[in-house]
């Protein structure tokens, strides 16, 4: 056995060197601490101990999921947190709705841009309206999108939404075990039909598959798991170099995105060649001073992605809530039956008569927000807020997860309770959970279309089906266990199993009749 030499610090290293080394460390720490806590007579927002120096990997600094970590840190350090790990850009997390509204809304001139994300650039996601820097091109994108998807304009899409919901009901009736695929198809079918006049196939549609393949890439693009986001110079490393797998992955995503943008547009062009359809949005953007075709492809492509993923995930969260809280399902079905009499499908005209369904929709937004940490804004110029100094180029995240867990507004926040949004008289209150769609000039332009799609799905599914737990061989309920993604900007449920059964023979008949009528 070989005895390894033991380093004797007292003899092998001169004391002067040890003292010098210790002083350098102490001085470095003092400078960093001073810089972080005092600037222009103010100080940086508080940080968890040790976070701002060298690490985001300490056991007491659980980054994934960061929105949960910030919620817990906020209980100790306040609603405005400053986070900066070694080699990374500083982050300010806003845990309160009031702070996010003030900075991202009222001071939107300074907080409306997006950060440069190297992995997005490699993937080709720079076309996306939601991640563009703030400027003339972005303003034009949003002007087009807001004109097409503002609240009154979104009403024009309701016939399409109703038609696609009937298709989804039929698929749920015939193959309920594939409910996740049916929900994704419903979400994609609405925007593809409304924007491109394209009628999706019930299963394995090429455009739906293209959308699904890019959803995960978009969600995980800003993740710290990609070393290029921390060390942007790695973009110059050849893809064959060991450890450069991120470049090969980005290349595969880029080819999918290119097809996802071009293929639907080509369908529109071919359709216009064979019909006399008046396609207003295409004519408007192509006549503009900007690259109109690019705006059409990228702007509409952005809304397609947002509404697809947000709509599908919200409906899936709704199903989870119905399985987990059956008493909520029973009460909602009673309200619907009182309006429809069980003799027809609910429709948008019933919306004012179904306050509990609207309250349940708002609770779905609150209970499991799809973008829990919000898309990052960037502080264009240094700022001072509540005596805290926010440096230039700081990433600012509205922690929507923390806002939905505000104990002063939402008691027992993990419980699904639609009554939060009803007053004592059973009327809806003023809390619309609008912060789930973003803030200021970067609020989601497709929110009205997506919200209407989710509301209709909730009302019609509950009117026709009962959602429940799976049974084991002995007929006992199998506990529902659902996991959510935590490593990207989106948090959506991973596949799970539940039962979706017609409430009655009458419900089955109504679905079949509605489907037959829609197809004739």
Q: Could you tell me the pTM of the whole model?
A: 0.86
Which ranges of the chain have pLDDT less than 70? 1-19, 21-42, 50-64, 85-87, 213, 265, 268-306
Q: List CB contacts of 519: < 8 A, sequence separation 6 or more.
A: none
Q: Which residues define the annotated binding site?
A: 444
Q: List CB contacts of 304: < 8 A, sequence separation 6 or more.
A: 188, 191, 192, 195, 211, 264
pLDDT of residue 1: 42
Cβ pair 165, 457 in contact under 8 A = yes
pLDDT of residue 273: 55
Helix (H, G, I), strand (E, B) or coil at 507: helix
What letters, b where the CB count within 10 A reaches 16 and e where it falls short, cover 62-90?
ebebbbbbbbebbeebebbbbbbbeeebb
Tell how far CA 480 is from the center of its chain.
23
Token match 């060991």: residue? 242
pLDDT of residue 296: 59
Question: How many angstroms separate the Cα of 427 from the Cα of each of 81, 352, 363?
Answer: 37, 10, 15
Encoded tokens for 437 = 């769609």
- Write phi, then psi, for 389 (nearest 5 degrees): -90, 125
pLDDT of residue 226: 82
Given CA atoms 327, 328, 329, 332 in this order, what sign does their dihedral have?
positive
pLDDT of residue 512: 97
Q: Which residues define the annotated binding site for heme?
A: 444
Give the orientation angle of helix 206-220 with respect to helix 245-274, to 10 degrees. 140
């Amino acid at each position: 056995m070989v005895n390894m030499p033991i380093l004797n610090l007292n003899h092998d290293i001169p004391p002067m060197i040890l003292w010098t080394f210790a002083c350098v460390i102490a001085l470095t720490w003092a400078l960093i601490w001073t810089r972080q806590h005092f600037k222009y007579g103010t100080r940086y927002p508080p940080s968890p101990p040790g976070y701002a120096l060298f690490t985001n990997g300490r056991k007491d600094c659980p980054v994934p999921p960061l929105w949960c970590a910030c919620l817990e840190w906020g209980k100790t350090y306040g609603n405005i947190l400053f986070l900066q790990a070694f080699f990374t850009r500083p982050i300010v997390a806003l845990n309160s709705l009031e702070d996010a509204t003030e900075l991202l809304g009222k001071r939107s001139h300074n907080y409306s841009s997006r950060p440069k994300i190297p992995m997005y650039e490699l993937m080709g996601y720079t076309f996306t309206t939601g991640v563009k820097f703030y400027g003339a091109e972005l303003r034009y994108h949003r002007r087009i999108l807001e004109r097409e998807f503002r609240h009154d304009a979104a009403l024009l899409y309701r016939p399409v939404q109703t038609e696609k919901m009937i298709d989804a009901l039929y698929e749920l009736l015939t193959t309920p075990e594939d409910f996740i695929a049916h929900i994704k198809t419903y979400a994609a079918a609405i925007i593809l039909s409304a924007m491109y006049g394209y009628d999706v196939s019930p299963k394995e549609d090429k455009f739906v598959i293209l959308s699904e393949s890019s959803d995960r890439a978009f969600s995980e693009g800003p993740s710290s798991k990609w070393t290029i986001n921390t060390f942007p110079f790695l973009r110059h490393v050849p893809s064959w170099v060991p450890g450069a797998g991120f470049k090969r992955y980005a290349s595969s995503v880029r080819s999918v995105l290119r097809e996802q943008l071009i293929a639907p547009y080509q369908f529109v062009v071919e359709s216009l060649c064979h019909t006399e359809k008046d396609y207003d949005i295409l004519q408007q953007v192509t006549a503009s001073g900007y690259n109109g075709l690019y705006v059409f492809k990228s702007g509409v492509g952005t809304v397609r992605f947002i509404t697809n993923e947000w709509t599908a995930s919200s409906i899936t969260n709704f199903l989870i809530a119905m399985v987990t809280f059956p008493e909520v399902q029973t009460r909602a079905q009673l309200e619907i039956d009182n309006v429809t009499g069980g003799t027809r499908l609910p429709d948008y005209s019933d919306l004012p008569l179904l306050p509990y369904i609207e309250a349940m929709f708002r609770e779905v937004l609150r209970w499991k927000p799809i973008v829990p940490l919000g898309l990052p804004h960037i502080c264009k110029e240094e700022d001072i807020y509540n005596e805290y100094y926010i440096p230039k180029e700081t990433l600012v995240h509205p922690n929507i997860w923390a806002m939905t867990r505000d104990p002063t507004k939402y008691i027992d926040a993990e419980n699904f309770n639609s009554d939060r949004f009803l007053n004592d008289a059973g009327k809806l209150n003023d809390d619309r959970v609008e912060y789930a769609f973003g803030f200021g000039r970067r609020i989601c332009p497709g929110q009205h279309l997506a919200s209407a799609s989710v509301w209709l799905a909730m009302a019609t599914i509950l009117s026709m089906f009962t959602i429940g737990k799976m049974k084991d061989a002995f007929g006992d309920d199998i506990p529902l266990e659902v996991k959510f993604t935590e490593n990207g900007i989106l948090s959506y449920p991973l596949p799970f199993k539940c039962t979706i059964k017609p409430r009655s023979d009458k419900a089955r008949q109504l679905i079949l009749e509605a489907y037959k009528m829609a197809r004739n």
